[in-house]
Amino acid sequence: MEKVKEVTQKIVQFVKDAKLELKKVTWPTPKQALASTAVVIILVFIVAVILGIIDFALAKTVKFILG
């Protein structure tokens, strides 16, 4: 029973500490969040296209070498 009480106290303390830390966070404005999301989506698209081109070129090269 003592073990359960100790674990419960640790959980409560963790939640209190987490809540305190979250108050210190500087949260982005909706406009900043939208801009960051757009940048990420654009970069993911660019990287996907580049990797697609590389994959296509390597596939053609392997097909050419192996016949």
What are the extents of the domains in the chain? 2-66
According to the model, what pLDDT value does residue 30 have? Answer: 97
- Residue matched to tokens 């939640």: 15
What's the pLDDT tens digit per position in 2-29?
A: 889 899 999 999 999 999 999 999 999 9
- Residue matched to tokens 């029973």: 1
Q: Which pTM value belongs to this model?
A: 0.64
According to the model, what pLDDT value does residue 67 have? Answer: 82
Report yes or no: 36 and 28 within 8 Å, Cβ to Cβ.
Answer: yes
- Using alpha carbons, list the distances in angstroms from residue 37 to 5, 8, 9, 32, 40: 43, 38, 39, 9, 5
According to the model, what pLDDT value does residue 1 have? Answer: 81
What's the pLDDT tens digit per position in 31-49?
A: 999 999 999 999 999 999 9
